[in-house]
Amino acid sequence: MTTPHSPRPRPIQEAPSPAPALDPTSLIAVLHAIGAGAAADGRPWPERHLLRSRQIAMSDADCAATGQRIVQEILLAAERTRQNGEPEQYLGDRVMEGLVMADMALTAFIHERMRAKD
C-alpha cells in the first residue's frame, strides 16, 4: 500500500460567524418575538418582576383580548347589517353563531391565562 501524497484532512477551526440581523418586521423575526412572549403590540410583556412563564401568559392573554375585540367588532357590524341593511348583506345565522363561539373561546382562553396559579 502506498502512502498518500497529501496530508489527512483536518477540520477547520474558525470562529462561528454571527447570524445576520433579522428585519424586525420579517415573518421569522415576528415568529421569534411571539415565541418569546410578545404581547399584542409585538413587544415583550413590560412587567419585568413577573416570572418568565407569567410574562408569556400575560402576553398570550393580551393577544387573545385583541383578537376578541376584533371578533366583537365583526359581530357588531354584522348585527347592524342585519338590522339596517338589505337581507342579502346579512352574513347568516351560522356565521353569527361561529363568531359568538369564537368570542366565547377567546374569553375562556383569556380567563385561563389571567387566573393566578396556586
Asked whether residue 21 is assigned to any structural domain, the reply reads: no
Three-class secondary structure of residue 38 per DSSP: strand
Domain that holds residue 56: 27-114
pTM score over 0.85: no
Asked whether residue 12 is assigned to any structural domain, the reply reads: no
> What would the pLDDT profile of 70-103 be if each residue is shown by its tens digit?
999 999 999 898 898 888 888 899 999 999 999 9
Q: Would the CA dihedral through 35, 40, 45, 46 be positive or negative?
A: positive
Residue with cell 341593511: 85
Contact 58, 50 (CB under 8 A): yes
Asked whether residue 10 is assigned to any structural domain, the reply reads: no
> What would the pLDDT profile of 3-21 be if each residue is shown by its tens digit?
556 666 666 566 666 666 7
**What's the structural domain count of the chain?**
1
Asked whether residue 3 is assigned to any structural domain, the reply reads: no
